[in-house]
Every structure is written in C-alpha cells, then in structure tokens.
Amino acid sequence: MLNTAVKAARRGAAVINRASFDLDRVIVNEKQHNDFVTDVDTAAEQAIIEVLSKAYPEHGFLCEESGASANVNDETEYVWIIDPLDGTTNFIHGFPQYAISMALQHRGVITLALVYDPVRNDLFTAEKGSGAFLNDKRIRVGKLDRIAKALLGTGYQAGNPAALTEYLKMYGIMAERSHGVRRAGSAALDLAYVACGRLDGFYEKGLKPWDIAAGALLVSEAGGIIAEFNGESDYLHKGNVIAGSPKVFGQMVGLLAEFA
C-alpha cells in the first residue's frame, strides 16, 4: 500500500507545484479567521483520492476539505486520513513550508504514514513496526537528554483569543527553557522533523486528525514519544499534542502540565 500512497502523494504534489509558479491565479477562500482553503487544496485532494480509490475502492476517506466519505463508519476497516496541503497560509504567500500528509488507519490503528514536502522533495514514510524513513533512509529522533539544548516546534490555531493567551504563555515557558522555539506553520512537517531529528520536540493544541495522524506514526516509529498534554494517548481525537525524543518529551510534559 505504501507504493500506492507515494504515487497518490506525487500526483497531488504535481497539482501543488504547478500552482506554486503562479500564485496570483490561486483562488483563496477564508473558512474562518486566518484559516484558508484554496482551489489547489481541493484539486490536490481530489487527485490523491482518485489514485487511492481506484486501487482500493472499499477504503474510506477522512479529508480536511471534503470531510468523511459516505462509507466511513465504525465498521470501516480501512480509512485514509488526508491533508492535501498542510500549511495553506504558507503556500499562498510563497513561503516554502508546506506538505501533503497521508495516513492509513486500519481498524482504528494508524499503520501507514506519509508526509511529502514537494518543495524539498523530502518524502517521509513509516509503516507500523517497520521504522521511519526519509527518502528511503532510516531516521531516528534526536539524542539530546536536556531540553535546555533542544530546538522545539510549535503552532497556533488562529481565531480564538483565549487560545492565543494560552499559546503565548506556553511559548514564554518553552522559549526560556530551550535553545529556541519555531512556529513554521505546518504541524505535519514539524512532526516529521521531530522524527528525523531536525527538531527535538513539538507541541500544539487544537489540531485535527489529518494534522496529526501521519506525523504521529513517523515519530513513534523513529523512537520518539507522542501523547496528549496529560500524557494520555487519545491525541488523535483530542487534538492536543506533545511529541519528542524520549527524554525531551518527558521534560516537555512536566513544563506544560498546567495546560493539560
């Protein structure tokens, strides 16, 4: 199934890359304050679904733009969880930090993950129990044992003043205790970066399943830990995530415990 997922991702990436050469022609709509969707998101999602549904007609889909397909229910054995363009705001500004995120859920368990950065041609993949890879090379989380030396990623879901106040408080704590905190604008890529050691940890609240699913498997298969702010495992549905290498993760949970 991974080969088919890669084919689908590259098909979606072709749509994104063509559009990136003429951003003035991209049609942008605002779903809510500072939450955008473009015709490129929609077209890329359709291209991805077309490849997957042709290969696996019985599979269901849970996608950012089109929602859940008609055949998704508690009995659906296979469900693809897809964000066709994670980092849409970056994309429409020409800021080269966005990705396609795809995960396959089998009977409620994420078993396959793919995050593809079409700008750098970085392909992150993982299958449950088989490790995580970047461009077919095995990757592992970083080896740091102290958060004081760590570079962290974070994000913020716009449109909620109370959430902004909390985010700024969290940022102050983590920026003071680490080497630095980066808000690059794509949770899927941030989690992939944790998996390959470019970041030592990541935290964010208010995410959706398509933001998290692929990156979560990448992190765990690369030897890292991902969980809710309280350390529990229902992050995919709760949307609040801390991820990192084992020792950095533990220190992050301690520092962010008041926000659980």
* Amino acid 68: pLDDT: 83
* CA 209 and chain centroid, separation: 9
* Amino acid 158: pLDDT: 74
Domain spans, the chain: 2-139, 147-259
What separation in angstroms does the CA of 215 have from each of 8, 110, 129, 219, 245? Answer: 18, 10, 15, 6, 14
* Amino acid 172: pLDDT: 97
CATH superfamily entry for domain 2-139: Fructose-1,6-Bisphosphatase, subunit A, domain 1 (3.30.540.10)
In terms of Cα–Cα distance, which of 34, 9, 39, 10 is closest to 22? 39
Pick the CATH number of 147-259 from 3.40.640.10, 3.10.530.10, 3.40.190.80, 3.30.450.20: 3.40.190.80
* Amino acid 32: pLDDT: 63
* Amino acid 46: pLDDT: 95
* Amino acid 186: pLDDT: 97
* Amino acid 247: pLDDT: 95
Interval 236-250: pLDDT, tens: 989 999 999 999 999
* Amino acid 35: pLDDT: 62
pTM for this structure?
A: 0.95
Q: Which residues of the chain have pLDDT under 70?
A: 31-35
- With 0-12 / 13-18 / 19 or more C-beta atoms within 10 angstroms meaning exposed / middle / buried, residue 119 is middle
Interval 146-183: pLDDT, tens: 999 999 999 987 777 788 999 999 999 999 999 999 99
SS3 231: coil
